């Protein structure tokens, strides 16, 4: 029904029409009771059912970037009056990223509440002075609502569909079932238009536009190379090939540095063609050294070893690998070792079109292997010179002998595997590397990292481990005074063992001064320093950059999830990603346990806690968490058995486990006592427990000032 100025709907007086709003007309009105101006959306009878669903969807959401609902009548909605204009492009990369992050945040909240928007388009996104406001949930689908044909929604109103079809996902356009990944496709189309100023999919008619969505790829986006891989992945035709959650999209956007379009490369593990499985360490070592050499080239982004090596032995399309690693070029090759000679073949591939940029074969004596590595790095840099326009790679500081390097690689592999047996193997190989080449700094630093991990994972008392960490890191710095991994390691010791935050800051400033900053250093900076000081947003940023540089490192996704949770956001998606990458790391399930427990999802928390305990039965935190979740689920008898295990001294760091148990059970006074004991023991892992959501009551209690003082934390580190 049409309304005129002066008409009334209950206590609301119509002032003027604003325009059409999806399934009704929108008017500016005044609320006579509260004296405020509002927007009133009046439904046509034809759309009354979906109009009611829109009201329910908006009412379920409370987010600063989503239009708020104030009231509902028989055929009208009363909503926040927004002073803004519809989203239009082209925009600068900086502005587009800023607005896109707000859009993803709004959709992330909707998806978390089980609501899929299904009509995301620029006209439903208003830009205000404060940011964006997402409108029009008229086509929204709730996860637990009665099933509705998506084909019916698609063909509702020809005038609306023609405007909407360009942003529909292929599955929505073809009438198939939709989920949150449909919104991700629509977001990709919106982001494309924000940057280019025109639609990703165009047609003169509804049918032509929908055919373009189903069949065509958008024109290449040259205006924003930093964002092109994100948009491409959002717009994959198959939902399985897109980002799987809006959290993943937001994480990728967070890692974008506007204005930076530096060339990027991933070095895939060189194939071992020698027929001898033992020679894989040699080919791995060659790959590792080429990665290190390329990382010294200013302006070149190089994917970390962990992520690149995740594709070992997997036959996958180069463009998909590059997309997963966020790089523009791929280096792959093979190594054949026979007697004292090696043959190395290498190919540099443009990931966008699959064409070869450069290829070369090297036949050399074995003792010339490091010369081959430097020669290859220089050749690759020359091949990319048109993009780089910078000085060549830095000179290699130290050339380790081959057996020492192979032993180092073996040791590093075991250090990253947190089990009691693995560190013994790591120590053996790293000490072998040191004995073979005492001037090789990295094995000392990695050995120190292993001792630190043993303390954090509850395998060695901190009082025994940390002096050893400090000794090995300092030895590494005696050899190479600017080694960032060793500087970061000393920063971690100063933070979580000495509680000397100024000294920790000094070491991290030194470690972070290197370009490129190693992903491991960013991880340590976020985990040991920023998060513990309550700087969760800074920690989240550092971890997003670490994930950007090493996207297939499960541990980094775990820490990013922890940082998100500490900043009041949902980190569960990062944990799910970590499980996909490695389902045998107990820390992933430990964190999943307390995330689910803090949200009241006890069954899921119990399953995660059981898994963490099965993987790390020695870990006091895993014992305490499982005991706490068992109490929450009503199984006090089994919980008591686990508490008896802690009390009997069968697990090192029982104080941490008991603190975790009492925090989960909301017994703040007893939890505070055990936290104090864990602090006195210098247990490095207790600090992360204090940043978990279930510890918020403790941080808000009368006990916190004393506990914070014991750790020398500043008052603002809440």
Catalytic residues: 119
Of the candidates 252, 247, 291, the residue with the CA atom closest to the CA atom of residue 268: 291
By the 8 A CB rule, do 115 and 140 touch? Answer: yes
Positive or negative torsion for Cα 613, 616, 617, 620: negative
Compute, in degrees rounded to 10, the torsion defined by CA atoms 272, 276, 277, 278.
-100
By the 8 A CB rule, do 216 and 210 touch? Answer: no
Of the candidates 632, 660, 633, the residue with the CA atom closest to the CA atom of residue 646: 660
Of the candidates 276, 270, 285, the residue with the CA atom closest to the CA atom of residue 407: 285
Matching residue, tokens 């009412």: 59
For residue 535, give every residue at least 6 positions away whose Cβ sits within 8 Å of its Cβ, in sequence order, or none.
Answer: none
One-character DSSP codes across 363-427? EEEGGGHHHHHHHHHHHHHHHTHHHH-S--PPPPS----HHHHHHHHHHHHHHTS-SHHHHHHHH
Supply 677's token pair. Answer: 């004991």
What does the DSSP 8-state code read for residue 66? B
By the 8 A CB rule, do 698 and 704 touch? Answer: yes
By the 8 A CB rule, do 308 and 325 touch? Answer: yes
Supply 263's token pair. Answer: 């060339």
Question: Is cis: bond before 90, omega within 30 of 0?
Answer: yes
Positive or negative torsion for Cα 77, 79, 83, 89: negative
Strand order in the sheet with 36-43: 8-9, 12-20, 24-31, 36-43, 76-80, 69-72
Q: Within 10 Å of residue 397's Cβ, how many Cβ atoms?
A: 12
């Amino acid at each position: 029904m049409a309304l005129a100025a002066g008409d009334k709907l209950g206590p609301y007086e119509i002032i003027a029409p604003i325009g059409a709003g999806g399934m009704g007309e929108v008017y500016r009105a005044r609320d006579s009771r509260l004296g405020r101006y509002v927007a009133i959306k009046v439904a046509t009878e034809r759309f009354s059912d979906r109009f009611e669903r829109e009201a329910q969807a908006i009412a379920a959401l409370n987010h600063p970037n989503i239009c708020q609902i104030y009231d509902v009548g028989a055929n009208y909605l009363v909503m926040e009056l927004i002073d803004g204009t519809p989203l239009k492009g082209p925009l600068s990369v900086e502005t587009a990223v800023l607005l896109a992050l707000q859009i993803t945040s709004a959709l992330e909240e909707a998806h978390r509440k089980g609501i899929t928007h299904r009509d995301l388009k620029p006209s439903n996104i208003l830009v205000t002075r404060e940011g964006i406001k997402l409108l029009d949930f008229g086509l929204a689908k709730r996860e637990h609502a009665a099933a509705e044909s998506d084909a019916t929604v698609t063909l509702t109103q020809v005038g609306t569909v023609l405007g909407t079809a360009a942003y529909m996902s292929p599955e929505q356009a073809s009438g198939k079932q939709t989920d949150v990944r449909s919104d991700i496709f629509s977001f990709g189309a919106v982001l494309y238009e924000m940057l280019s100023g025109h639609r990703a999919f165009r047609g003169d008619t509804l049918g032509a536009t929908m055919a373009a969505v189903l069949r065509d790829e958008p024109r290449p986006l040259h205006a924003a190379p930093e964002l092109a891989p994100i948009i491409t992945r959002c717009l994959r035709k198959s939902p399985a090939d897109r980002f799987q959650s809006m959290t993943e999209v937001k994480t990728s956007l967070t890692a974008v540095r506007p204005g930076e379009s530096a060339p990027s490369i991933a070095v895939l593990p060189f194939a071992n063609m020698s027929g001898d499985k033992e020679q894989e360490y040699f080919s791995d070592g060659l790959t590792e050294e080429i990665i290190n050499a390329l990382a010294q080239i200013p302006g070149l982004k190089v994917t970390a070893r962990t992520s690149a090596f995740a594709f070992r032995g997997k036959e996958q399309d180069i463009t998909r690998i590059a997309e997963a690693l966020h790089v523009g070029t791929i280096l792959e090759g093979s190594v054949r070792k026979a007697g004292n000679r090696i043959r190395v073949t290498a190919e540099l591939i443009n990931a966008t079109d699959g064409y070869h940029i450069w290829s070369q074969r090297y036949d050399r004596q074995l003792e010339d292997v490091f010369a081959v590595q430097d020669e290859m790095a220089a050749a690759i840099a020359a091949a990319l010179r048109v993009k780089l326009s910078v000085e060549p790679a830095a000179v290699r500081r130290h050339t380790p002998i081959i057996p020492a390097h192979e032993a180092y690689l073996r040791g590093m592999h075991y250090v990253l595997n947190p089990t009691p047996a693995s560190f013994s193997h790591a120590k053996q190989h790293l000490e072998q590397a040191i004995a073979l080449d005492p001037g090789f700094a990295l094995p000392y630093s990695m050995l120190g990292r292993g001792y630190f991990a043993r303390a954090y994972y509850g395998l060695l008392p901190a009082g025994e481990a940390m002096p050893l960490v400090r000794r090995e890191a300092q030895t590494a710095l005696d050899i190479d005074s600017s080694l960032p991994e060793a500087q970061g390691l000393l920063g971690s010791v100063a933070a979580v063992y000495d509680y000397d935050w100024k000294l920790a800051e000094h070491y991290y400033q030194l470690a972070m001064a290197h370009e490129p900053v190693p992903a491991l250093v960013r991880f340590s900076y976020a985990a040991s320093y920023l998060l513990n000081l309550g700087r969760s947003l800074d920690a989240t940023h550092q971890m997003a950059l670490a994930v950007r540089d090493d996207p297939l490192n499960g541990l980094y996704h775990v820490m990013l999830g922890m940082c998100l949770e500490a900043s009041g956001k949902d980190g569960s998606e990062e944990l799910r990603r970590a499980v996909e990458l490695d389902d045998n790391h107990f820390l992933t399930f430990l964190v999943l346990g307390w995330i689910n427990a803090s949200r009241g999802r006890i069954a899921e928390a119990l399953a995660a806690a059981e898994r963490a305990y099965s993987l790390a039965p020695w870990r006091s935190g895993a014992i305490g968490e499982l005991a706490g979740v068992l109490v929450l689920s009503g199984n006090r008898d089994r919980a008591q058995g686990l508490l008896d295990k802690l009390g009997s001294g069968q697990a090192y760091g029982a104080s941490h486990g008991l603190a975790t148990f009492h925090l989960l059970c909301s017994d703040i006074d007893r939890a505070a006592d055990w936290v104090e004991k864990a602090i006195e023991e210098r247990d490095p892992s207790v600090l992360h427990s204090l940043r978990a959501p279930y510890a918020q009551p403790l941080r808000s209690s009368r006990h916190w000032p004393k506990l914070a003082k014991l750790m020398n934390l500043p008052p603002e580190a809440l």
